[in-house]
A and B are shown apart, each in its own frame.
Chain A
Amino acid sequence: MTHIVNERVMVLLALFLVGGGLYAATFGQIYSSTETAQSPVFFPRIILALWMLLALAALVQAVRAPSDTAPVTSWPRLIVLLLAAVTYTNVIGREGFFLPSVVFAAISLPIFGIRNPLVVGLYAVAVPGALVLFFNHLLGMPLPVSRFTYLF
């Protein structure tokens, strides 16, 4: 059972399903033209069909010749960084560049093994601060700013 339900098989299965879902979605939309060259879904359908075919082939390969994925040393570390990175890239548009960057750096540095709070704090403020100073105020090419002030 562990041979079949492993990370590799799950990823490939997910890929196959996403490809299939997108292929199905091309039939749900109505376009003004269905003539080959004019149809917006003509080209994506070819690509998605190949996608599904290849995902299926890879899936069969993975089931027939199971192999292990590289082990993760520490899942908590990885998951915290992953969530931090996704949240970080999501909030810059609303909260500006500086504040989310400070928070992200304060999370990321300890994950990579820097424990000294002084060093973390200094880096987390200085590096994003320098970037904001450089782009927003020296170059006049501003990064997104927070809701509190247009200065950072």
Chain B
Amino acid sequence: MNIKTFSGIVASVVIATSAGAEDAFPERPINLIAPFNAGGGTDLLLRGLAPHFAEAIGGDAFVSNMAGGSGTVAASALQGQRADGYQLGYFSITVSTIQPQIKNVPYDVDSWTPICSVAASPTLLFTNADTPYMTAADVVEAATANPGELVYGSSGPGAMTHLTTVAAFAGLGILDKLKHLPFQGSGPAVKELTSGTIQFFGDTEILMSRGDFRPLMVFNSERLESYPDVPTATEVGIEAPLNELYLWGGLFAPAGLDPAVTSKLEAACETAVSSAGFQEFAANSGTVINFRGAEAFDTFFRQQYEANGALIEAAGL
């Protein structure tokens, strides 16, 4: 902690002494780091954004991948870098707020200069279309009648899919009456949902639409346009902070970035996100755009970090 604060001070001193450099920013290509493998959802989103971001900043930008440890390896590596604005990570809710609270990684809430948020999709709890569970009440009834019978899956412990199911069942007060079966990634979990080994899974709308699944609730502030009959978590009786859950992601730089550079990057991000090209990309790929500027994103990020602590406790992680 001390070392981190110290290096933060050193970094800001270094930058302060080289004042004026930000006028020329960027002088070289900006590296956008996807903390997952090439070809994954995060990577492709970033590759869709990169050309528009490069155009907006008036320089060059490229995407690189650093995969492993549910995204923590890339975040841990970036945290140790000099905050010069040439290396930005695209981190999701799990990488930036969940993983540092359940693993002993070298970064935490104070390690970053948030630049902008790009996307945010609410998650849903769903079941296979041929199960008899039509509503959350049906699930509560079945789980109470036969504790230990029903199984919910996840793409891994601590993943967004895990937190969604935990938020649902902890919110309904039946978490200990169901079994949790983690898988290695969403693919095998969705397969077992189709074949009936597990009954419940939670993920975003785009993933749910891949199969013949029935949504039971959505962790959004209001009902979704595409599923007007599906109640929100609040409507089925789940209380804050478990009632809203968004798979969000945004660009982060290491802590101590020069404010002038931050605002340049923030402005470029805004232009890129609102560009026609990226809007079209988002519409095609089912990405729900949610832009926040540096300051708003910083507040949101810190508030999420706090709120997700409750979720982690409920999940027993």
- Please determine if A and B sit in direct contact within the complex, based on CB atoms under 8 angstroms apart: yes
Q: Contacts A140-B62, A142-B62, A142-B64 given; indicate if A32 touches B316 (C-beta within 8 A).
A: yes
| B210 at the A interface (CB under 8 A) | no
| A150 at the B interface (CB under 8 A) | yes
Residues of B within 8 A of A141 (CB): 62, 64
Chain A positions 63 through 74: 1 when the CB is less than 8 Å from some CB of chain B, otherwise 0: 000000000000
CA distance A83 to B316 in the complex (A): 46
| B29 at the A interface (CB under 8 A) | yes
CA distance A141 to B29 in the complex (A): 12
B46 smallest CB distance to A (angstroms):
13
Interface residues of B in 2-42 (CB under 8 A from A): 28-29, 31
Q: A142-B31, A142-B64 are in contact. List 6 more A-B contacts (CB 8 A).
A: A140-B62, A141-B62, A142-B62, A150-B28, A150-B29, A150-B86
Residues of A within 8 A of B28 (CB): 150
Residues of B within 8 A of A150 (CB): 28-29, 86
A interface residue numbers (CB < 8 A to B): 32, 140-142, 150
Residues of A within 8 A of B29 (CB): 150
A23 smallest CB distance to B (angstroms):
23
Which residue of A has the minimal Cβ distance to B180?
A38
Chain A interface mostly helix, strand, loop or mixed? loop
CA distance A141 to B316 in the complex (A): 40
Chain B interface mostly helix, strand, loop or mixed? loop
B231 smallest CB distance to A (angstroms):
33
Residues of B within 8 A of A140 (CB): 62
CA distance A32 to B29 in the complex (A): 45
Interface residues of B in 56-113 (CB under 8 A from A): 62, 64, 86
Residues of A within 8 A of B316 (CB): 32
B73 smallest CB distance to A (angstroms):
12
Which residue of B has the minimal Cβ distance to A139?
B62
A95 smallest CB distance to B (angstroms):
16
Which residue of A has the minimal Cβ distance to B38?
A141
CA distance A150 to B316 in the complex (A): 44
B180 smallest CB distance to A (angstroms):
10
B74 smallest CB distance to A (angstroms):
14
Which residue of A has the minimal Cβ distance to B316?
A32
CA distance A47 to B28 in the complex (A): 50
Interface residues of B in 152-171 (CB under 8 A from A): none
A91 smallest CB distance to B (angstroms):
16
Residues of B within 8 A of A142 (CB): 31, 62, 64
* 10 contacts across the A-B interface (CB closer than 8 A): A32-B316, A140-B62, A141-B62, A141-B64, A142-B31, A142-B62, A142-B64, A150-B28, A150-B29, A150-B86
A141 smallest CB distance to B (angstroms):
7
CA distance A92 to B186 in the complex (A): 34
CA distance A32 to B62 in the complex (A): 42
CA distance A140 to B86 in the complex (A): 15
A-B pairs with lowest CB-CB distance, top 6: A140-B62, A150-B28, A142-B64, A150-B29, A142-B62, A32-B316
B166 smallest CB distance to A (angstroms):
15
Residues of A within 8 A of B62 (CB): 140-142
CA distance A105 to B126 in the complex (A): 56
A146 smallest CB distance to B (angstroms):
14
Chain B positions 288 through 310: 1 when the CB is less than 8 Å from some CB of chain A, otherwise 0: 00000000000000000000000
Which residue of A has the minimal Cβ distance to B317?
A32
CA distance A69 to B62 in the complex (A): 50
Residues of A within 8 A of B64 (CB): 141-142
